[in-house]
Amino acid sequence: MELHKLSKGERFIYDWQYRMHGSFDTALAEALSIADGNNLKRLSKGFPEYAEAMKSFHNDENWWFNVLDTVDGAL
């Protein structure tokens, strides 16, 4: 697996999806995943890479597949 090739935000989402986080990061990922626009903006002040990755995860249909391709190597 090529986890070292992921950005900080991509790794955060990857770990969240595969339940590899500790309690704080799990709670943060859950908060980011359900935050409305205003709250996501607030959370992005403290966690910009994670908030941006969560936006991409939810809004870019190919983003997650690209992360998986990076982890598994070029297909």
Question: What is the pLDDT, as a whole number, of residue 15?
Answer: 97
**Residue 28: CB atoms within 10 Å:** 19
Close Cβ partners of 67 (under 8 Å, ≥ 6 residues apart): 6, 10, 13, 14
Q: Which residue has the tokens 């992921």?
A: 6
The secondary structure of residue 37, as a DSSP letter, is: H
- Decide if pLDDT at 65 tops 80: yes
Question: What is the pLDDT, as a whole number, of residue 2?
Answer: 75
Question: What is the pLDDT, as a whole number, of residue 74?
Answer: 47
Question: What is the pLDDT, as a whole number, of residue 75?
Answer: 46
pLDDT tens, position by position, 15-59: 999 999 999 999 999 999 999 999 999 999 999 999 999 999 999
